[in-house]
Amino acid sequence: MEMYETLMKKALNDFKTVDHMVYVTYPLVNDPKLMFGIVDKLFNTLIDVITAVLNYDYLYKRISHVPESLNEKLELFKKVIGKRYNFNGNIFLLLEELNKFKEFRKRSPMEFVRRDNLVICSSGFNTKSLNYKKVKEYVNKSKEFMNNANMLLIKNGI
């Protein structure tokens, strides 16, 4: 099995987990802190899909290498792959938003729950919040990208 097939199958499985967490687990448990796990898993899943498509193009010698760093992967995908396969540019905005959220959380000393919103407060008292509606929006925006990438790789081999 090729590397891109393995990555795509893992990403599809992880996306099913994310979808289940959003639409089944969260409404049942209703714990806002679960949203952190959902956002992290969704971001990692989308990066796996991007890596799978890059590996697919590398296999067929359309690109010279698959970059190791996240920023290089995103740049190559945005400039070359996204245009080649007509991926919607909104996925890059979503990835950027998820990455900024993860980085902000990593640097912030405090987080708390307020009215079903998960609030992260930085040391300078800047805040970012996350709620269930926003997480569902992230997942729904990702579905189109996941389906398009899956169709590209299925059509050509998986």
Residue 55 covered by a domain: yes
Q: Is residue 86 part of a domain?
A: yes
To 5 degrees, how large is the angle CA 74–CA 81–CA 156?
Answer: 125
Q: What is the pLDDT along the chain (158 residues), one digit of tens a residue?
A: 789 999 999 999 999 999 999 999 999 999 999 999 999 999 999 999 999 999 999 999 999 999 999 999 999 999 999 889 999 889 999 999 999 999 999 999 999 999 888 999 988 889 999 999 999 999 999 999 999 999 998 765 54
Domain count for the chain, please give it.
1
119 in a structural domain? no
Token pair recorded at residue 100: 């900024």
Please report which residue ranges of 21-131 form alpha helices under DSSP H: 26-29, 34-59, 70-76, 82-84, 90-107
Residue 150 placed within a domain: yes
Cβ distance 146 to 154 under 8 Å?
no
pTM of the complete model: 0.92
Residue 99 is assigned to a structural domain of this protein: yes
Task: Please report whether residue 63 resides in a domain.
Answer: yes
Question: Residue 149 domain-assigned?
Answer: yes
User: Would you say residue 91 lies in a domain?
Assistant: yes
Domain limits for position 62? 3-106+132-155
- In contact, 153 and 9? CB cutoff 8 Å: no
Provide the edge-to-edge strand list for the sheet that holds 110-114.
110-114, 117-121, 127-131
Query: SS3 of 121, please?
Result: strand
